[in-house]
Amino acid sequence: MKLTVYGSGCAKCQQLTANAEAAARRLGLDFSVEKVTEMNAIIDAGIMRTPALAVDDEILVEGKVPGSNELEALLQRQA
C-alpha cells in the first residue's frame, strides 16, 4: 500500500504523516510513504487544500488532519 502525503512539509503535514503511519502499523499493513511537497505536483494531483493523503493514488483526506483512529478506519476500507 502506498501512502502519499501532499503538502509543504508544515507541522500539519508532519502530523498527518505520523497519524497515517501509526494507523497503518496498527493494522499490520505493508506500506510505504511518499511525501509530495512540490506545489505543481500537488496541483497536478488535483489537490486543492493541503495537507492531503492519498492511498494507492486515491485521495482520501484533503484539507484536514484526522486522528489515527479515523485514518485506521479509512485504511481498513482500502486494504
pLDDT at 31: 97
Catalytic, 56? Answer no
Q: What's the confidence (pLDDT) of residue 53?
A: 98
Report, as an integer, the average pLDDT of 2-17. Answer: 97
- Is residue 57 part of the annotated active site? The answer reads no
pLDDT of residue 79: 78
* Residue 52 lies in domain: 2-78
Out of 3, 5, 13, 65, pick the active-site residue: 13
Confidence at 67, pLDDT banded by 50, 70, 90: very high
What integer best gives the mean pLDDT of the chain?
Answer: 96
pLDDT tens column, 36-52: 999 999 999 999 999 99
Domains identified in the chain, total number: 1
CA distance linking residue 59 with residue 61, whole number of Å:
6
In a 10 Å sphere around its CB, with 0-12 CB exposed, 13-18 middle and 19+ buried, how is residue 59 labelled? middle
Q: Residue 25 belongs to a domain with what CATH number?
A: 3.40.30.10
